[in-house]
Amino acid sequence: MPSFDPLSGGSPLVSGGYPPPFEGRRGLTFSVARPDEAGMRQLSSRLGRFSIVALTVLVASACSVGGRTAAAGHRLIRVNERDFQITVAPTYVPAGDVELVVRNQGPDTHELIIVRSRARLPLRRDGLTVDERALDAVTVASLDGAGPGAVRRKRLHRAPGRYELFCNMAGHFMAGMRGELVVD
């Protein structure tokens, strides 16, 4: 004898104890999920969540690639200053317009001087700082000293070559506050 399900309006249950599919409004057919279908729905749900996560990661990575290019076609170069080092990212860029974003992450004031690379930078008589006057012909840019937490920006046009970036505050250059940028 077939059993009846009171929730389905008294319709008989098919084998396995599940009501038969029924037709709803607008011709749509509905049925109760069976255990094997529930597993597929759970798998489908997991795939859906994975797809959303993968899409989010893809979009975020596309945005981060775009973050390397500043407004108006300028290539973005990040320069971090801290006691006693300078990091430059990226270290290789194509020739053309660039925008430097210089962050002082150290506890002291730091400046930034950018020169076309030479074999050795000339030192002043004190032996601790670079002789900036001797570098006038190869100096590309200079940013005045800024305190801890300061962020400065500078737009430049770079010709191919090697550039040295350094802080020339008393003893900072000799302590290792220098970095290099290569423009192809």
Whole-number Å distance between alpha carbons of 132 and 183:
22
Provide the pLDDT confidence category of residue 51 given band limits of 50, 70 and 90. low
Q: Which pTM was predicted? A: 0.61
Query: What pLDDT digit, counting tens, does each position of 124-181 carry?
Result: 998 889 999 999 999 999 999 999 999 999 999 989 999 999 999 999 999 999 999 9
How many Cβ atoms sit within 10 Å of the Cβ of residue 123? 14
How many Cβ atoms sit within 10 Å of the Cβ of residue 175? 14
- CA distances from residue 15 to 1, 7, 18, 100 in whole angstroms, order as listed: 11, 17, 7, 72
How many Cβ atoms sit within 10 Å of the Cβ of residue 158? 21
Q: What percent of the chain has pLDDT over 90?
A: 53
Positive/negative CA dihedral, 105, 106, 111, 113: negative
Provide the pLDDT confidence category of residue 20 given band limits of 50, 70 and 90. low
Residue 180 confidence (pLDDT): 95
> Per-residue pLDDT averaged across 19-44, rounded?
56
- CA distances from residue 67 to 78, 106, 131 in whole angstroms, order as listed: 11, 24, 36
The rounded mean pLDDT for the chain is 78
Q: Residue 184's closest CA among 163, 164, 165?
A: 163
Residue 127 confidence (pLDDT): 87
Residue 67 confidence (pLDDT): 41
Residue 29 confidence (pLDDT): 56
How would you label 65-97 residue by residue, b for 16+ Cβ within 10 Å and e otherwise?
A: eeeeebeeebbbbebbbbbbbbebeeeebeeee
Query: What pLDDT digit, counting tens, does each position of 100-125 carry?
Result: 999 999 999 999 999 998 778 999 99
> Per-residue pLDDT averaged across 27-35, rounded?
56
Whole-number Å distance between alpha carbons of 153 and 87:
15
